[in-house]
Amino acid sequence: MNPIDWIVLLVTMVGIAAYGAWRTRHTDHLDTYLKGSKSTRWGTIGISVMATQASAITFLSIPGQGFESGIGFVQNYFGLPLALIIVCAVFLPIYRKLGVYTAYEYLGQRFDSKTRLLGAGLFLLQRGLAAGVTIYAPAIILSSVLGWSLNLTIIATGLLVIVYTVTGGSAAVSLTQKWQMGVIFGGMVTAFLILLARLPAGLGFGGAAHVAGAMGKLQAVDFSFDPDKRYTLWTGIFGGLFLSLSYFGTDQSQVQRYIGGASLREGRLGLMFNALLKIPMQFFILLLGALVFVFYQFEPAPVFYNRVEWSRHAAGPGGAAFRALEEKHAALHVVKQEKIRAWLDTRDRGDSAAEPAARAAMVAANAATDVVRKEAKAALTAADPLAKTKDSDYVFIGFILAQLPHGVIGLLIAVMIAAALGSKAGELNALGTTSTIDLWRHFRPLAAHDEVRNVRAAKWLTAFWGAVAIVFALFAGFSENLIEAINILGSIFYGVVLGIFLVAFFLKKVGGTAVFWAAIAAQTLVIVLYNVLTISYLWYNLIGCAACVVISLGLQAALGGKPSLATDEHG
């Protein structure tokens, strides 16, 4: 990065944070602090919902996923539009009608205190753990490739987000997310256009897509019923539906984004905005990764894309073996380039007789380079069992740094940091709100009517969770595959929480005691099954939810009589 990149980065990031903090510095009413401005329109709500979900890992890992495995990951989002329709039709009207601050407050009104605390506790546990990952994941990658101090990156980004989230609460989060998403969209479209311009002359988008397709990178939809396959149409629609329903309907970091706003209409339109745009947006990011793959077919490509990790070992005592692998890969890469050009030539000539053989030769050449990449990863593990062998997260950032002009590099780094700040702010805001409303205010009911004291408590608790996330990120060792770790963690807890809410909405005869113990039993079942079975983790959303609903019905029937009445009266 040169001074131009630094100027672009600092002006956009610090400028947006300072603007958000300054515009919302007089937010001293609890309602505004926790739910945001009542004049918020659907566009801001829609962008805020999108920004909270899209973390920095979305823009670092997902292009890498498109590069490595193709665009099939888009199926993970197939349940999302259906889930948002259900949230709009069922969840949102109830939350607004009751005027709750948190989703778990509703559980207290519908069931009892213990069920409310269970819901809030599961949220704080799951989201509190994820908050550390949200801040750590981009920091580890950015610090590695840019040579920044990891701890300094974590502390700087963490403090920046704490300042404006604590100052302006929900209003500041929504306001800054709007500008941050502007930077993100601008940066990603710029990267896409430059990438297209950098493809070999005459290839164009169509030719690049044909190369990517022939190499198996554009299999967007998999209709197979194999339950062990992680991403298929069916895991996406059914598992993804339950994951999305739980995330958007019951996770406070999302609920908080849409329960405020000018009216129910604005919240609904904001969610429908996401229902329409989310799949195309994820497709675009994955496609960007697939096109980066094509780009490197015509350029010298490294055998391993985490160059810092590779160089560290290549400079060690076993360096000769690493250099031999690099040379072997480079030679096979040249052969592959020839095969690709030969295949494109048969296509241009319309030689349908020679085309199948040329395609098979190209695919075989690609498989040969893949084998060397696997050998390189095995060599890294042999040299150091703790070596980071997943390099797909480094593909897109490596492309940005090596191929984009200065200024645009700063803009793209700003994209990553903007995404990190946006999602982090949504999480902190929700953690602070849930701690204030469902714990602090619940256990100190006499303080419930003291507006100033409530806002002060909310600010302290938001800052507390920000500090927890920073400390967690500084001292915890995380799984290498971070985005999957977050999704797996979510899938283990989300299904049961969704089950509690579905019982609350649709099974009026089931009371608090039955659903509470059913949730405990269902959560235990999911954890046991996760350790025993090898099925796609998305299915645990469905299993946890179904188990909670069925056991609730069974327990209520066994308990007999009328359900226990709601005993929770404290907002």
Contacts with other proteins, residue ranges (CB under 8 A): 74, 78, 81-82, 84-85, 88-89, 93, 96-97, 209-210, 212-214, 218-221, 233, 263-265, 268-269, 272, 275-276, 279-280, 283
Shortest reach from residue 169's CB to other proteins, in Å: 23
| Axis crossing angle, helix 264-297 with helix 56-69, rounded to the nearest 10 | 40
- Cβ proximity to other proteins: between 4 and 209 the closer is 209
Q: Which amino acid, residue 363?
A: V
Q: What's phi and psi for 527, nearest 5 deg?
A: -65, -40
Radius of gyration of the chain (CA): 25
CB 195 to other proteins: min, Å:
17
Name the residue nearer to other proteins (CB basis): 247 or 394: 247
Q: How far is the CB of 82 from other proteins (least distance, A)?
A: 7
List b or e across 23-58, with b for residues whose CB sees 16 or more CB atoms inside 10 angstroms.
bbeebeebbbbbbbbeebebebbbbbbbbbbbbbbb
Closest CB to other proteins among residues 92, 124: 92
Judged by beta carbon, residue 64 or residue 236, the one nearer other proteins is 236
Smallest distance from the beta carbon of 298 to other proteins, in angstroms?
A: 17
Place of tokens 């969209």: 185
Shortest distance, CB of residue 307 to other proteins, whole angstroms? 30
Token pair for 15: 């400028």
What string of H, E and C letters represents the secondary structure of 356-411? HHHHHHHHHHHHHHHHHHHHHHHHHHHHCCCCCCCCHHHHHHHHHHHHCCCCHHHH
Q: Quick one: CA dihedral 461, 463, 469, 471, positive or negative? A: negative
Q: Name which of 87 and 107 has its Cβ closer to other proteins.
A: 87
Name which of 4 and 272 has its Cβ closer to other proteins. 272
- Angle made by CA atoms 194, 195, 196, in degrees to the nearest 5: 90
* Closer residue to other proteins in complex, CB, 125/221: 221
Alpha-carbon span 305 to 290, nearest angstrom: 15
Minimum gap (Å) between residue 364 Cβ and other proteins: 17
* Residue with smaller CB distance to other proteins, 244 or 564: 244
State CA 51 to chain mean position distance: 10
For tokens 């498109």, the residue is 66
Residue 226, burial from CB neighbour count under 10 angstroms (0-12, 13-18, 19+)? exposed
Shortest Å, Cβ 1 to other proteins: 35
Q: In the 8-state DSSP scheme, what is residue 228?
A: T
Cα(108)–Cα(567) distance, integer angstroms: 7
Tell me the H-state helices in 147-250: 150-198, 204-214, 233-234, 240-250
Chain centre distance of CA 423: 8
- Residue closer to other proteins by CB (options 101, 273) is 273
Q: Are residues 543 and 526 in contact, defined by beta-carbon separation less than 8 angstroms? A: yes
What is the smallest separation between the CB atom of 356 and other proteins, expressed in angstroms? 13
- State the minimum distance, in angstroms, from the CB of residue 79 to other proteins: 10
3-state secondary structure of 146: helix
Query: Distances from the Cα of 357 to the Cαs of 78, 350, 360, in angstroms?
Result: 36, 14, 5
- Min CB(263)–other proteins separation in Å: 6
Cβ nearer to other proteins, comparing 219 with 567: 219
Nearer to other proteins, 93 or 318 (CB): 93
Task: Give the shortest CB-96-to-other proteins separation in angstroms.
Answer: 6
